[in-house]
C-alpha cells in the first residue's frame, strides 16, 4: 500500500484537551459565529496543543474541525454547573454572556406595513328592499340535457388504437374527429 492512503490510516480518537477547549472558546468569543475564522484561528495557534491535536489540525478538513469544535461548544453550553475546571467554566460563562448580549442587541424588525386594499363596505339595505331570487331552473330542461348523448372524449378511443410497438405509426380510424 501507499503511504498516506485512506485505507492505511487508522481512525484514532484525539481527546480534546483543556488547552484546545480554551482555545476554541476564546476563538469563538473573538469571532462569534464565523466558524471559518474560528477554525483558522485555532489552526494558527495549534502549537499550543498536544502533539496528537496538532497533527489533527494539520490533516483534518475545515469541515471536520468545525464539527469537532461545534460539538464541544454545544456540550459545554448545554452543561450548567457540571464544569469542574475553573478556567473552562469562566470562559463558558463569558461566551454565554456574549450570546445573551448578542441576542438582546439584535433589534426585532418592525412588521412590514403594506397598503392592502380595504374590503368593500357592507351593502346597506333599505327597509323596503326585497332580495331578488335567481331565475328558476327548468328541471325538465336539465333532465333532457343530462339524457342527451354525452360528448365523447376521443382520446380513450385513440389510445386504444395505438400499438405497443414503437415502430408502428398511428393510423386514425375514419371516425376520429378532433374538435377544438
Per-residue pLDDT of the chain (180 residues; tens, 9 = 90+): 455 555 555 667 888 899 999 999 999 998 877 889 999 999 999 999 999 999 999 999 999 999 999 999 988 888 877 888 889 888 988 988 888 877 665 566 666 666 667 777 777 666 666 666 666 767 777 777 777 655 555 555 555 555 555 455 555 555 555 555
CA torsion, ordered 64, 83, 17, 74, to nearest 10 deg = 10
CA torsion, ordered 162, 163, 169, 172, to nearest 10 deg = -30
Has this prediction a pTM greater than 0.75?
no
| pLDDT (0 to 100) of residue 83 | 84
| pLDDT (0 to 100) of residue 101 | 78
Q: List Cβ neighbours of 76 (8 Å cut-off, separation of 6 or more).
A: 21, 25, 83, 88, 92, 95
Place of cell 403594506: 114
DSSP state of 75: H
| pLDDT (0 to 100) of residue 20 | 92
| pLDDT (0 to 100) of residue 178 | 58
| pLDDT (0 to 100) of residue 176 | 57
Sequence-ordered alpha helix ranges (H) in the chain? 18-31, 35-44, 51-59, 62-78, 86-105, 139-147, 154-161
Cβ-contact 26, 91 below 8 angstroms: yes
- The C-alpha cell of 51 is what? 502533539
| pLDDT (0 to 100) of residue 149 | 57
| pLDDT (0 to 100) of residue 157 | 57
| pLDDT (0 to 100) of residue 1 | 43
Interior angle at CA 150, CA 144 and CA 153, nearest 5: 165
Amino acid at each position: 500500500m501507499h503511504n498516506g492512503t485512506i485505507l492505511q490510516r487508522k481512525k484514532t480518537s484525539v481527546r480534546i484537551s483543556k488547552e484546545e477547549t480554551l482555545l476554541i472558546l476564546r476563538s469563538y468569543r473573538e469571532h462569534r459565529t464565523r466558524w471559518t475564522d474560528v477554525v483558522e484561528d485555532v489552526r494558527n495557534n495549534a502549537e499550543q496543543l498536544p502533539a496528537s491535536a496538532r497533527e489533527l489540525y494539520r490533516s483534518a478538513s475545515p469541515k471536520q474541525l468545525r464539527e469537532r469544535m461545534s460539538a464541544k461548544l454545544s456540550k459545554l453550553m448545554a452543561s450548567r454547573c457540571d464544569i469542574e475546571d475553573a478556567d473552562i467554566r469562566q470562559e463558558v460563562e463569558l461566551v454565554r454572556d456574549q450570546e445573551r448580549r448578542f441576542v438582546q442587541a439584535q433589534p426585532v424588525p418592525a412588521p412590514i406595513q403594506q397598503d392592502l386594499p380595504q374590503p368593500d363596505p357592507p351593502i346597506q339595505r333599505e327597509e323596503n328592499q326585497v332580495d331578488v331570487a335567481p331565475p328558476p331552473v327548468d328541471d325538465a330542461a336539465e333532465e333532457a340535457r343530462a339524457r342527451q348523448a354525452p360528448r365523447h372524449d376521443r382520446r380513450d378511443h385513440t389510445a386504444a388504437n395505438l400499438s405497443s410497438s414503437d415502430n408502428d405509426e398511428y393510423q386514425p380510424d375514419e371516425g376520429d374527429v378532433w374538435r377544438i
